[in-house]
Chain A
Amino acid sequence: MSEKSAARILDVGVTRGAEYVDVRFESARSERIEVRNGVVAALADAVSTGYGVRALVDGAWGFAASDDHSDAGLVAAAERACAIARAGASIARRRVGNPPPVPYVGEYATPVLREPSSVPLGERVALLLDAERRLRAGAQIAVGRAWIDLWDSRKTLYGSNGTRITQRIVQSGCGVQAMAVDAGDAQTRTYPGDIGLYQSGGWEIIEKAALCDNAQRIGEEAVGLLRAPQCPSGTLDVVLGGSQVSLQIHESCGHPAELDRVMGWEANFSGTSFLEVDQLDRLQYGSPLVTIVIDNTMSLGMATCGYDDEGTKSGLSDIVRDGILVGYEMSNDTAREIGRESNACVRAQSWSFAPMIRMCNLNLLPGDVPFENIFDDVRDGIYMESNRSWSIDDRRLNFQFGCEIGWEIKNGKRGRMLKNPTYAGMTPRFWNSCDAIADARSWFAWGTPHCGKGEPMQVGRTTQAAAPARFRNVTVGVGYDE
């Protein structure tokens, strides 16, 4: 979008009575390749270009998105955003919207070692066909899948306060999955993690995943799970693999620490939060080993950028420090409500969505236990890897998660494979039972490409970097304990 078009929108908005207007222009390209059972089930390339206008009128926000780039289209979108804001203001019992406190001018681009576009499409497809073929460890493999996702977004935010920010965000991901089936049972294994490897960067992310080197093992594990004994039910110690710790952070810290949830902005859908404002700087969220931080500047993070979609500069901030709740993920408006400043946690899925608080890079800092020693003083426990099922209540307290695979731990040693491992608990009690976190050598930036929130529902991309961790006296085997 030319500066002239942006200026036209901002001018129309201000003329129609908006106290602040911004427009975010975005052109996004996405590519999905998926091989399923030896056949290319998806080979798709999508381009989407448009803009979203945000107008603040009488303390209420209105948002209108359009892909009509004509002058009439620009004017109509700006007028629509103002009309929507005005309609909202007419029924609002109080003012909640405020202009951004500081204008920013800047640029950011994801560091890319190898541009995905430089890799011939035939090479990308061949990689997946090879990886998927290697999953076939036995006749019981009913479904083999291998996939690559590539995203490249270029966006510019113009604000009526002088903000002008241009960014290019590149993210890549891939994975393999095998489903083994026999009479009465279906077992799935996925690599890497539970949804694949998703990080910011280019083709180097796909190369790092080493799909072909791991596919055969994954297929063998899926077949092995059909014969494996059922995970027992009871109260045992649990060690979670890094990707499962990542999921645990995401669901039981990342979402409840979103300040819009805390303030009831998601009450009818995603829910509220047990991390209420009066608990700030007081709540013993976890054991003293647990420190969880926002870092939207880290390399490889799916939420890494220079500025968020309100125009706030990315940085670092603490959510849980030495086990105590000390912060939230915030926007300009929500931070103002508790006397703080935004920590740049606002994102929009694309040009057609309004920006809102989204979980960003929210990481559990590593501990000091080498992974090979984390089982040492577990007398009777379960080691679980790769999430299969996740459910948590609408205040983010009562959770139940299931993993694809588990192993018995007896007297400090990892033993036989177990199928259908599940565990359940209450969030603070669970995190307070954490007595070991593996060290930085096992710490990994686990990314998620499809976190849902908001109405209309938006899909966000986020990272929860984590290392394996140990938890004591956990309820396991839920759902299979009749």
Chain B
Amino acid sequence: MARAILERSPADQTEVLVAQSDAALTRFTHEVTNQNVAARGVEISVRAILDGQTGVASSNSVDDNDLRALVERAVAIARLAPKDPLQPPLPVGKTAPAPPNAYVDATAQASPERRAAICGALFDAAEHAECWCAGYASTSSSGYTVANSNGALASFDGTDAAVNVKMIGADSSGWAEAHATDVECIDARTIAARAVDKSLRSAAPHSVEPGAWSVILEPAAFGELLAYLAGHFSAQSYDEGSSFCSDGLERRYFGENVSIFDDYAHPLAPGMPFDFEGFPTQRLALVENGIVRNVVTDSYYAHKLEVENTGHALPAPNSYGPQPLHLVVAPGTASLDELIANTERGLLVTRFWYIRTVDQKQAIVTGMTRDGTFLIERGRIAGGVRNLRFNQSILEALRSCEFSSEPRRTAGYGFSTVVPAVKIEGFTFTSATEF
């Protein structure tokens, strides 16, 4: 289909992105399903470039006449667009093969009964613990093909399975998640046990005073926090001056133990080896031992900044600039249990909620704890605490921190990271809740 579209395009340069997906999700609450859904579809997007003028049109019809009309629409839009003198040629590169286990047929073929079985196991655990639960089990497959008239042609198939559950008691809750490309690697009973344990151990929570605390953020909490730093590593943000590192690369912004990568091939989160321009994605060191080494680029920003294209383009049209979609943080040497044991007084955070940027350049963010926040006293979990709001610069947090030795994949809407737990000194909580 992509080749046929390229052949019939009269544009100087043409790019075709074909994206297809089949995604199913069984969501539940109070031990009944409340969103039990599946959707399959395809989207064809055409980017036409005529002498620096660009137009993009997309459709979900694979009818031959509609595809012909789609190309004509993209070209017609391009003819009306002002020229962009910086528009580079569409890129071509030799893409790497997909990482192992990116696509698992058992996940792609998972039935509603398979998802129901996962949910049923969670229901049983909730009833046994005298909790109620809410969450989901999902399975999906997706495929991407990118081709352009300069010769690029790349295809990728991937799968994803996930479980997410919150166990809710009278005055507490606990939460756990799992993500894998293979649905057979999802162990519902283990996930349920983890969430139940958190819910039970945080029962009858006490209030603690806001202020500067030693905190240990479990991977879900740290991963979501880190997601708010991702955009700073975009060449667009760097170039426009809104990134913390706009003042220059090759400078130390973090502690010496902090190394952050963008790695689509990490075994815990194998992904697409090329970007949405079909250009090979580099496995890139963004931060090495506290020093910012690189920002990610696409063909446009590589051309504009006269640097290498790292293959991090988003689908056209893209006003967000290139983005790192696979952040990975290098682990430390101590286990999570050892981090806890080495904490005289602090807080253990399972998960954050509703993080938002307060100050762009200083990377100050605010957000709430939820679903399992614990007081640590003399190296032991002393009990649950009521939730707290934080206001914290991510830069400052990562100047003095210690990572656990156990990286885990964590994901939410708009981010997927592989991170360990992290212990941070002087993490600033500014207010508390009554629950």
Residue ranges of A at the interface with B (Cβ–Cβ < 8 Å): 32, 34, 36, 39-50, 52, 60-68, 80, 83-88, 90-96, 121-122, 125, 129, 142-143, 145, 179, 181, 183-186, 188, 260, 263-269, 271, 352-354, 356, 389-395, 397-398, 400, 402, 420, 422, 424, 452, 454-457, 478-480
How far, in angstroms, from A454 to B29 measured CA to CA in the complex? 12
* Closest chain B residue, CB of each to CB of A452: B413
A48 contact set on B, CB distance < 8 A: 43, 59-60
Nearest chain B CB to A473's CB is how many angstroms away?
Answer: 15
* Closest chain A residue, CB of each to CB of B168: A267
Contact B33 A181 (CB under 8 A): no
How far, in angstroms, from A277 to B382 measured CA to CA in the complex? 34
How far, in angstroms, from A478 to B166 measured CA to CA in the complex? 30
B358 contact set on A, CB distance < 8 A: 389, 402, 420, 422, 479
Contact B319 A91 (CB under 8 A): no
- Can you list 10 residue pairs at the A/B interface with Cβ under 8 Å? A36-B319, A65-B39, A121-B77, A181-B246, A183-B247, A269-B164, A271-B353, A394-B353, A420-B359, A455-B27
20 extra A-B contacts, CB within 8 A, seeds A267-B166, A455-B35: A34-B317, A39-B84, A40-B84, A41-B319, A42-B318, A46-B57, A60-B33, A62-B36, A66-B40, A84-B24, A91-B123, A121-B80, A265-B29, A268-B165, A268-B175, A391-B367, A393-B387, A424-B430, A456-B35, A479-B358
A478/B36 contact (C-beta < 8 A), A47-B59, A65-B41, A455-B27 known: no
Check: B302 CB closer than 8 A to any chain A CB: no
A65 contact set on B, CB distance < 8 A: 37-41
B391 contact set on A, CB distance < 8 A: 400, 478-479
How far, in angstroms, from A268 to B247 measured CA to CA in the complex? 40
How far, in angstroms, from A394 to B31 measured CA to CA in the complex? 21
Most buried by B among A39, A50, A61, A422: A39
Nearest chain B CB to A266's CB is how many angstroms away?
Answer: 8
Most buried by A among B42, B355, B361: B361
Check: B409 CB closer than 8 A to any chain A CB: no
Contact A455 B166 (CB under 8 A): no
A93/B31 contact (C-beta < 8 A), A40-B81, A66-B39, A455-B136 known: yes
Contact with A88, one of B61, B116, B242 (Cβ below 8 angstroms):
B116
Nearest chain A CB to B422's CB is how many angstroms away?
Answer: 21
A353/B39 contact (C-beta < 8 A), A40-B84, A87-B113, A268-B165 known: yes
A353 contact set on B, CB distance < 8 A: 37, 39
How far, in angstroms, from A256 to B360 measured CA to CA in the complex? 29
Contact with A186, one of B111, B164, B242 (Cβ below 8 angstroms):
B242
Total residue contacts A-B, CB cutoff 8 A: 265
How far, in angstroms, from A186 to B317 measured CA to CA in the complex? 25
Most buried by B among A65, A85, A400: A400
Check: B16 CB closer than 8 A to any chain A CB: no
Most buried by A among B30, B112, B134: B112
Contact A64 B39 (CB under 8 A): yes
A52 contact set on B, CB distance < 8 A: 39
B34 contact set on A, CB distance < 8 A: 61, 96, 260, 265
Check: B6 CB closer than 8 A to any chain A CB: no
B38 contact set on A, CB distance < 8 A: 63-65, 80, 84
Contact B366 A398 (CB under 8 A): no
Contact B40 A268 (CB under 8 A): no
A263 contact set on B, CB distance < 8 A: 29-30
Nearest chain B CB to A180's CB is how many angstroms away?
Answer: 9
Contact with B115, one of A87, A354, A479 (Cβ below 8 angstroms):
A87
Contact A41 B318 (CB under 8 A): yes
Most buried by B among A92, A122, A145, A271: A92
* Closest chain A residue, CB of each to CB of B369: A393
How far, in angstroms, from A452 to B413 measured CA to CA in the complex? 10
Rank and list the top 9 A-B pairs by shortest CB-CB distance, nearest first.
A42-B317, A88-B33, A87-B112, A181-B241, A267-B134, A65-B39, A93-B31, A479-B391, A41-B319
Q: Interface readout for B118-130 with A: 1 if CB under 8 Å, 0 if not?
A: 0110010000000
Contact A398 B368 (CB under 8 A): yes
Contact A93 B353 (CB under 8 A): no
Contact A41 B317 (CB under 8 A): yes
Contact A92 B33 (CB under 8 A): yes
Contact A393 B319 (CB under 8 A): no
B281 contact set on A, CB distance < 8 A: none
Q: Interface readout for B65-80 with A: 1 if CB under 8 Å, 0 if not?
A: 0000000010001101
A86 contact set on B, CB distance < 8 A: 112
Contact A356 B318 (CB under 8 A): no
Contact B36 A61 (CB under 8 A): yes
Residue ranges of B at the interface with A (Cβ–Cβ < 8 Å): 23-27, 29-43, 54-61, 73, 77-78, 80-82, 84, 86, 111-113, 115-116, 119-120, 123, 132, 134-136, 138, 164-166, 168, 173, 175, 240-242, 246-247, 316-319, 353-362, 364, 366-368, 370, 387, 389, 391, 413, 430-435
A424/B36 contact (C-beta < 8 A), A46-B59, A67-B42, A391-B368 known: no
* Closest chain B residue, CB of each to CB of A264: B29
How far, in angstroms, from A40 to B300 measured CA to CA in the complex? 13
How far, in angstroms, from A353 to B86 measured CA to CA in the complex? 39
Contact B165 A264 (CB under 8 A): no
Nearest chain A CB to B224's CB is how many angstroms away?
Answer: 12
A457 contact set on B, CB distance < 8 A: 413
A63 contact set on B, CB distance < 8 A: 35-38
Contact B389 A400 (CB under 8 A): yes
How far, in angstroms, from A142 to B361 measured CA to CA in the complex? 13
Nearest chain A CB to B212's CB is how many angstroms away?
Answer: 10
Nearest chain A CB to B183's CB is how many angstroms away?
Answer: 15
Contact B61 A49 (CB under 8 A): yes
A32 contact set on B, CB distance < 8 A: 317
How far, in angstroms, from A67 to B73 measured CA to CA in the complex? 21
Contact A389 B357 (CB under 8 A): yes
Contact B116 A91 (CB under 8 A): yes
Contact B31 A39 (CB under 8 A): no
Contact A122 B39 (CB under 8 A): no
How far, in angstroms, from A452 to B40 measured CA to CA in the complex? 21
Contact B36 A44 (CB under 8 A): no
Contact with A391, one of B35, B57, B135, B354 (Cβ below 8 angstroms):
B354
Contact with B134, one of A92, A264, A391, A397 (Cβ below 8 angstroms):
A264
B360 contact set on A, CB distance < 8 A: 186, 188
Nearest chain B CB to A228's CB is how many angstroms away?
Answer: 14
* Closest chain A residue, CB of each to CB of B414: A457
B36 contact set on A, CB distance < 8 A: 60-63, 84-85, 87-88
Nearest chain B CB to A121's CB is how many angstroms away?
Answer: 5
B355 contact set on A, CB distance < 8 A: 391
A356 contact set on B, CB distance < 8 A: 35
Contact A94 B56 (CB under 8 A): no
Contact B59 A393 (CB under 8 A): no
Nearest chain A CB to B11's CB is how many angstroms away?
Answer: 14
How far, in angstroms, from A352 to B168 measured CA to CA in the complex? 31
* Closest chain B residue, CB of each to CB of A267: B134
How far, in angstroms, from A269 to B136 measured CA to CA in the complex? 10
A402 contact set on B, CB distance < 8 A: 358
Nearest chain A CB to B368's CB is how many angstroms away?
Answer: 4
Contact A91 B119 (CB under 8 A): yes
Nearest chain B CB to A122's CB is how many angstroms away?
Answer: 5
Contact A50 B41 (CB under 8 A): yes
Nearest chain B CB to A340's CB is how many angstroms away?
Answer: 18
Contact A354 B35 (CB under 8 A): yes
